[in-house]
Amino acid sequence: MKWSRHVLILAMIGVFALGTQYGFATPSLEISTSKHVYEYGDYLSINFQVPELVSNSITIHITDSSNKTSAPITLPMDKLNKTITSPFPFYKTTFNPGTYRIDAEYANSTASVSFDLIDTGKIAIPVEFKSLVKTLEQGSPTDKVYAGIIRELINNNILNVPNYNNSTSQVYIPQWFKTSIKWWSDDSISDNEFGMSIEYLLEKGIIQV
């Protein structure tokens, strides 16, 4: 009888200890990305999951393959399951290919996830170039102005044109190609389609910048 009583007491202590542990445990955090591998032009999308809301924000750091870590980024957390997508895609001008790690912290819980960014040759043109073209189209831009934009795309490795000679003094942009520029600025054709057409026309000597 005494032995049974001791077992019962120990069991009650164990249940109490477990209850206390779970009652004061911090919420666990789960983090994942929409893809394991991204390419230029893709948007980074991150999903966060928590069992309960104890804070209205979550903090992340992004570390690249050279171990450079971003400043803290604070994101809103108003749902148990929250997906946040970057407003801008991956561009060559801002992200190098490689493995990236995202470290997240929420109410003293931490979690990490990694993804790879690879260069598949897909062309993604930073949005500021499109904004510049839209502004220029309000006036009467010359061939030299358009040529200057194309040179910037080449010099920033956004466009790949083998044997490109940027010291040429000749500039020629066919009128019909300026229509393609307008279509691109209006989102009627993609960055990749527009960029590949520029590469082809330059290689064939149809346009000169």
For domain 26-118, the question of CATH label 3.40.50.300 is answered with: no
pLDDT of 65 over the 70 cut:
yes
Could you state, in order of their start, the residue ranges of all structural domains in the chain?
26-118, 127-203
Q: Which residues contact 154 (CB under 8 A, 6 or more apart)?
A: 161, 164, 166
Residue 12 tokens read as: 């009650």
What is the value of pTM for the model shown?
0.81
104-137 pLDDT, tens digit each: 999 989 999 999 999 999 999 999 999 999 998 8
Higher pLDDT, 21 or 144: 144
pLDDT of 12 over the 50 cut: no
Q: For residue 149, what are its two tokens?
A: 């934009």
- Residues 29/111, Cβ–Cβ less than 8 Å: yes
Let me know: does 107 contact 139? Beta carbons within 8 Å. no
